[in-house]
């Protein structure tokens, strides 16, 4: 678990399997620091994504080490906080983090691919009511993300990208979608053997 957080620290949370961690995770994190004016990013390496099969899932310790290697020399803390907190779902993890670190200002980070399917997550709308959310373009997903169930439900809370520096201080619900093209690398492509 990360050490204590000083008052008002602005922290981006990027959750995932990190199976393996890659440049795409790093690109989103560094963009978030810049565009959202964050102090640091925490990568939340999940023990097991409830929506993904355990088949092909590398052990947590291996994924954690791979994330540490990719994040090294950047303002990114790699955590296995969900294992420590014994939480499975993002809503549980966010509630626990806000209890543990009441002085921190958190923002949830995710790719546009996740905005397209977040309605499948347990208590998904609670995420938007717990912390501000920043969504980053992923190749082929941005248009679908804008038409997603979550984007429609929270349309009136969406802010323009040029106001993103204030997102973390706005309180929830508030969210932004960055359409800027990102690194096309994905963990699935990295794991798929070349023929």
Domain spanning 10-191, CATH architecture: 3-Layer(aba) Sandwich (3.40)
- Is pLDDT larger for residue 153 or for residue 140? 153
Domain ranges (residues) in the chain: 10-191
Confidence of residue 34 (pLDDT cuts 50, 70, 90): very high
- pLDDT tens-digit readout, 58-102: 899 999 999 999 999 999 999 999 988 889 899 999 999 999 999
36: Cα separation from own chain's centroid: 13
Rounded mean pLDDT of 94-118?
A: 94
The conformation of residue 158, written as its DSSP 8-state character, comes to B
pLDDT at 8: 83
Confidence of residue 48 (pLDDT cuts 50, 70, 90): confident
Query: DSSP string spanning 55-112?
Result: TTPPPHHHHHHHHHHHHTTSSEEEE-HHHHHT--SHHHHHHHHHHH-TT-EEEEEEEH
Report the distance separating Cα 148 and Cα 113, nearest Å.
10
């Amino acid at each position: 678990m990360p050490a204590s957080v000083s008052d008002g620290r602005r922290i981006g949370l990027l959750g995932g399997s990190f199976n393996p961690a890659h440049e795409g995770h790093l690109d989103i994190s560094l963009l978030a620091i810049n565009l959202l004016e964050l102090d640091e990013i925490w990568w939340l390496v999940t023990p097991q994504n409830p929506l993904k099969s355990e088949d092909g899932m590398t052990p947590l310790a291996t994924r954690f080490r791979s994330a540490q290697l990719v994040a090294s020399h950047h303002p990114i803390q790699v955590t296995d906080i969900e294992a420590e907190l014994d939480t499975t779902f993002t809503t549980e993890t966010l509630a626990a983090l806000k209890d543990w670190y009441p002085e921190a200002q958190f923002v949830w980070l995710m790719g546009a691919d996740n905005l397209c399917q977040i309605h499948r997550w347990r208590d998904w709308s609670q995420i938007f009511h717990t912390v501000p959310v920043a969504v980053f373009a992923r190749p082929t997903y941005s248009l679908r993300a804008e038409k997603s169930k979550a984007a429609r439900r929270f349309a009136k809370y969406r802010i323009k990208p040029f106001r993103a520096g204030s997102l973390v201080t706005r309180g929830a619900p508030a969210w932004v979608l960055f359409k800027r093209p990102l690194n096309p690398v994905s963990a699935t492509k990295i794991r798929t053997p070349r023929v």
